[in-house]
Structure 1
């Protein structure tokens, strides 16, 4: 009798919530957030849609779960960074925190849909809370009062997680798949044409865009060179916090 080990048929892997969520992240990465439905995810993992509810209770539970997966990836990436030595000067908080936030951003750039889901959540996963706690610890090592730490987290906002809510962002600028690139380009052209038609009503806007508009191959999440703009804003906030801390101010 042929034993199961010699039939050449690979053993069937048991489906778990973790595997379902990993598949959900892969689906959103490949096809965009709009493609992530309970039905499409069931097809992705090869089960009936009703069977999926044994692993995720609802679409909201699914979204909470994929955020947790991305947050765990952020925490793992940050854990790979060189730790701040015990004898490091207090000024080391700023470059360390900058590196940590840009590491979180690098993770989000691999999952460009994730910032949209993060913004929509009403509760935070333990991975998010632990990541925030590490930022608080860095600021305390830099000599920040608890009051200034609190103000700092409000000032950083979503930037602490590696993304920022843009004031001007055409539809499609945060598309989740390569196929959406054409849609984003069309949205950019449409927005530019609209502003040109309104040149007499918004002259400063038109002049600014004519001066600073980017057509950069390295642009990632928006219609400008958003990596440069993200780092500019982050440095502006960190420099301001550094000055406040050095002056002994709380706000």
Structure 2
């Protein structure tokens, strides 16, 4: 999407993005002729240029560290590119959202919200962008509205951006099964999310405030990064006691 918006074919991906995510990015970009440069987060802003469509970062990153999204955003926006962020929705109950740092496109996995595996799915994919890029979003958009009697309803919106309504389309297309089930699952779990920011914040703060298991004791000598962290902490440690 960032390449389509900017008309460029180069992405800078921070090496702190989860390896599995980087593999998926490479798979999608390979067939489209999009060049991917994986660099350290500290170097990401410096290697961005006028040919870069966007910088891809994760928040919190794979190692649990909170990268400086504001610095990455300033660097890529100065070159006319977009800041793309993969965010943990549970962490948003405690941290500032990526949009506060100028992120243009934000995606995430809804599994941390408590969705069960369900024998392989369906899972929940989260996707958002700035208002000016909404017509470039993939898949279909469902809007919430009310009918003439004031009843709540959900309808497809901005349909002119879809293939099935275009005159130059060779044949109409239908929505695949997975996007449909994904939307249904989203509405199923939305009431839990909307029960109040207090409950969401309570869940988000449980992880950093809960002490580690007493079955294993580690002596931490130093952390790899001097930055705040969430969910996980990457540091060399010496195991002093085993279960």
- Identify which of structures 1 and 2 has the higher relative contact order when contacts are C-alpha pairs closer than 8 Å and 6+ apart: 1
Q: TM-score with structure 1 length normalisation?
A: 0.25
Larger proportion of strand = 2
Structure possessing the higher radius of gyration over alpha carbons: 1
